[in-house]
Structure 1
């Protein structure tokens, strides 16, 4: 398997099962297993909530116990917000999914356990896990909706397995301005501002020009930006000439 299995243990509401499926598919995960869903299976409310992720529900494995659901897995992590009195490594979602990625790359099978909405996983479920995932939430309101917890974990999986830049720019059909285009813009402004007497007094003129050039270099301009700024200056000159 090239991805972890997400195991929903005794999920209660069909809507949350569907929401979990949708959250998984948002991040490219499609291996779902369920343990003894409260309202039986299949569940039309789950199908409706899953929207375009219904295939996950069609292919989901159905098991009677947690032990059966993770029987073929070599590394199991359990999501829980509360200390359970069990000695286990406690990982953040980011660390857990990084470990999951490494283990799956080495040929292991990984499962992530999610508990029922009302009370979460029981100790008997967590005892079968090798580690715990603990989300750093508000301790005064630590409960996460099932689909929310699935979404958060799936997001961290996606971050670990895809080279996603921390920042990018949507160019909206524009291109970055070249150095010569910015240079011509700077010269245009310098010339017109010089004519208007902006660089005064003369003893400070050179420093002011350098600061203005530095301003242009700090601004990441597109060709459209450069054209607009040329137009702004041309229009200001025309306006002044009309006033004279």
Structure 2
């Protein structure tokens, strides 16, 4: 299986350890990973701001670069959802896109649904608070919605449960938005920060030691608030935890 690693812009520029953890994890699991060096932004910031004409060449470029792989794996639910769910009206006449949209996976989705892993040789003796980011939850269906009367599932939690010594923090509102929302955090700063503080308060009452998620954008927002307010919570992307990386001090 030819697997391409897609690294989002903000991870590449600000959190390269997350990209390395994703690569390390996949290689530990026996996956032969390729990194297409020509990759660029997927166009999500432009499309979210209504700038379709600016997003179009990036979408076309993405399909050109990543076509031909058996799978594309990305440590970001929002970027995966952008390609899978929001390229459609831009590339509705692109035959290669029809194939590619079925081959791109968020990291946890790939591990659970494609590799079907059932063990990980990692010790993680911490109480973990799992944040379900909106794109992963609502658009990729990585977990069940708490408001639905349906069987519960949670793919990131399923993976974390494989770790030796892990304990889960029980949140009161387990799938509430963190308030980041990309450009929303800039245009509606006060609302965004209030929502973030609400999520942190829920983790504090639950005794979270390490806060994790599949989207570094959400964690970036929450980590900024945690650092400024000197709260006793560490923040790690789920790829870092699953790859056996140490908790940052």
Note whether the superposition's TM-score is higher than 0.5.
no
Structure of higher CA gyration radius: 1
Q: With the length of structure 1 as denominator, give the TM-score of the two structures.
A: 0.27
Q: With the length of structure 2 as denominator, give the TM-score of the two structures.
A: 0.27
